[in-house]
Amino acid sequence: MTLAEENYLKTIFHLERKLKSEVSTNALAERMQTRASSVTDMMQKLADKKMLVYKKYKGVQLTEKGKKAAAYVVRKHRLWEVFLVDKLKFHWDEVHEIAEQMEHIKSVELIKRLDAFLGHPDFDPHGDPIPDKDGNIKKAEKRLLSELIKNQIGICVGVKESSPEYLQYLDKKKIKIGTKINVLGKEFFDGSMMIQVGRDQFFVSKQIAENLYVQTN
């Protein structure tokens, strides 16, 4: 598995779960910041390696083998993110790019020991679940903040979007994983909400609210 192959597999893995269908060449090209023709080349190579099923003009679908390989890349990525935040005290908006490189280090033993060193974490710093060695992902019962109604209380457990900009907004508002959020009111028209975080009360737009995952007791 080369670095490029691992990056493609991981992206296909994420897109498959999001779209719940085969992944198209263009969707992949956009996500990977590359050209459709480059994607086609790689799809043919990964199909040869039995990592996915490729039907000309019809997109691709990961095989079991491909899914497992992809989940392992995700596992490595998220474990390294935990390391960077928990041990090296990086901020959660700074770790993605570095983990993007570290996920490609080749050593099964390394990941085993890293996992133990970190205390076998189940979630990464953005609240995303860490697949186990066999590629199984346990999905937590979580909902978007935007789904709550007036007077409901949620605990922040993750983010849907994890761009530095969004994460920095959350920081400014003192929202992080574990933070209690009280919905004081909701505007029907635009989906914006009045919420309480600690002692502060403020408005959040729909766009903010539908990118934050919360758990309701």
Partner DNA sequence: ACTAATATTTAGCTTTGCCTAAAATTATAA
Partner DNA sequence: TTATAATTTTAGGCAAAGCTAAATATTAGT
Return residues touching Mn ion (CB under 5 A).
7, 81, 100, 124, 126, 128
Helix (H, G, I), strand (E, B) or coil at 20: coil
Considering only 1-9, 108-116, 151-159, 209-217, which stretch makes contact with DNA by CB under 7 A? Answer: 1-9
The item of a second copy, Mn ion, DNA, none sharing an interface with residue 207, based on CB under 5 to 8 Å by kind, is none
What DSSP element (H or E) covers 41? helix 36-48
The item of DNA, a second copy, Mn ion, none sharing an interface with residue 100, based on CB under 5 to 8 Å by kind, is Mn ion
What DSSP element (H or E) covers 45? helix 36-48
CA–CA gap between residue 42 and residue 200 (Å, rounded) = 50
What are the DSSP E strand ranges found in 102-211? 143-144, 153-159, 180-186, 193-197, 200-204
21 interacts with DNA by CB under 7 A: no
Q: What order do you get walking across the sheet with 143-144 strand by strand?
A: 143-144, 212-215, 153-159, 180-186, 193-197, 200-204
Considering only 38-46, 101-109, 114-122, 124-132, which stretch makes contact with DNA by CB under 7 A? Answer: 38-46
The item of a second copy, DNA, Mn ion, none sharing an interface with residue 56, based on CB under 5 to 8 Å by kind, is DNA
The item of a second copy, DNA, Mn ion, none sharing an interface with residue 114, based on CB under 5 to 8 Å by kind, is a second copy
Considering only 56-64, 134-142, 178-186, 203-211, which stretch makes contact with DNA by CB under 7 A? Answer: 56-64
